[in-house]
């Protein structure tokens, strides 16, 4: 790790490098042990340089956004974690095209589009993730998804920065080529359509009100815990199995929406994972449907 730290210090300020950084500070679940080294890049070039430095040093490397779809285990993460956040949150407009860096929150990009009088990203205004992670998993809500408006993305893949068109991205339901092949989305462009800013804002308010009404936003979580099984809804299957309110220590199947596991108490990552397994087992036993986690579970056990 010494050689990696030397390379990071040569390309960035000391305050961009954090040692033994608790991942609970960087995930919306508010759990997770420490990362050996965390780097906070301030440009796509710094992000790519840090990935290359880690690989040259033989250190494991992982790239995250704001941790909204992550569950980090209690033992933390070995090697380097690159967190794409405020330092990489630039958003710009040229005519009807919005360009954003990976660290920009989807809410920020949607708000920028609304203020610019551009429609097409209203659905993203309440998604609690960053653009990079959102593009990598083709985030969506309320009938919209990023593949609907994506033009192309700058992706670090196979040691090179590549421009991938929407077709090149191979975007499906919560999956893309970068996600499957270990690529990192650095920025993206979206083609939007002109509309009245107040009309756009009204649609955003309506969608966010629906979200607040149906989702347990008052407790830490990672959003929807499970992917939607073909022909079913995860929340309905979980509720039908009588699991609403089921808890393991401070982790609980939400009483408001069974598709969410929340942390109303002092849960550990191990508690949350145990509850995920209980839900999977009991739904399978009752309905014969296998639930696949949408949340990414990473790191090491304590």
CATH class of 234-298: alpha beta
Question: Is 127's pLDDT higher than 90?
Answer: yes
Mean pLDDT of the chain: 96
- Reported as a single tens digit per residue, the pLDDT across 22-42 is 999 999 999 999 999 999 999
Residue whose C-alpha is closest to residue 101's, from 153, 148, 61: 153
What confidence tens digit (pLDDT) does each residue in 217-268 have?
999 999 999 999 999 999 999 999 999 999 999 999 999 999 999 999 999 9
Other beta carbons less than 10 A from residue 95's beta carbon: 10
* pLDDT for the residue 1: 79
pLDDT, position 123: 96
The architecture of the domain spanning 89-214 is 2-Layer Sandwich (3.30)
Residue 63 has pLDDT above 90, yes or no: yes
Cα–Cα separations (whole angstroms), residue 28 to 48, 167, 234, 246: 25, 31, 21, 21
- Domain borders along the chain are 2-87, 89-214, 234-298
Please say whether the beta carbons of 120 and 110 come within 8 A: no
For 160-192, how does the pLDDT look when each residue is reduced to its tens digit (9 = 90+)? 999 999 999 999 988 999 999 999 999 999 999
Helix (H) or strand (E) holding 63: strand 61-64
CATH of domain 2-87: 3.30.43.10
Catalytic site positions: 174, 224, 294
**Helices within 27-130 (DSSP H only):** 44-56, 106-115
Predicted TM-score (pTM) of the model is 0.91
Query: What are the Cα distances from residue 34, in Å, to 13, 38, 212?
Result: 21, 9, 32
Query: Which pLDDT band, with edges at 50, 70 and 90, does 2 fall under?
Result: confident
Strand partners, 38: 18, 81
């Amino acid at each position: 790790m010494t050689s990696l730290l030397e390379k990071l210090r040569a390309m960035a300020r000391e305050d961009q490098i954090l040692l033994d950084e608790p991942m609970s500070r960087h995930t919306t679940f508010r759990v997770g042990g420490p990362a050996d080294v965390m780097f906070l890049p301030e440009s796509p070039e710094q992000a790519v340089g840090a990935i290359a430095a880690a690989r040259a040093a033989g250190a494991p490397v992982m790239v995250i956004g704001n941790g909204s779809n992550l569950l980090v285990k209690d033992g933390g993460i070995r090697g380097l974690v690159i967190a794409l956040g405020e330092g990489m949150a630039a958003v710009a407009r040229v005519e009807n095209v919005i360009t954003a860096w990976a660290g920009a929150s989807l809410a920020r990009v949607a708000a920028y589009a609304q203020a610019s009088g551009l429609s097409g990203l209203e659905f993203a205004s309440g998604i609690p993730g960053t653009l990079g992670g959102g593009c990598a998993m083709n985030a969506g809500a309320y009938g919209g998804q990023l593949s609907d408006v994506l033009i192309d993305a700058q992706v670090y893949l196979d040691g090179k920065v590549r421009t991938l068109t929407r077709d090149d991205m191979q975007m499906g339901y919560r999956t893309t080529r970068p996600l499957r092949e270990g690529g990192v989305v650095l920025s993206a462009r979206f083609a939007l359509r002109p509309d009245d800013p107040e009309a756009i804002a009204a649609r955003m308010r309506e969608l966010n009100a629906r979200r607040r009404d149906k989702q347990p936003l008052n407790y830490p979580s990672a959003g929807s815990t499970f992917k939607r099984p073909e022909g079913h809804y995860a929340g309905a299957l979980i509720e039908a199995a009588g699991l609403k309110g089921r808890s393991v220590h401070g982790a609980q199947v939400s009483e408001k929406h069974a598709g969410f596991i929340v942390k109303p108490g002092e849960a550990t990552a191990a508690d949350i994972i145990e509850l995920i397994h209980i839900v999977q087992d009991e739904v399978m036993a009752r309905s014969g449907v296998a639930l696949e986690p949408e949340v990414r579970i990473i790191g090491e056990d304590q």
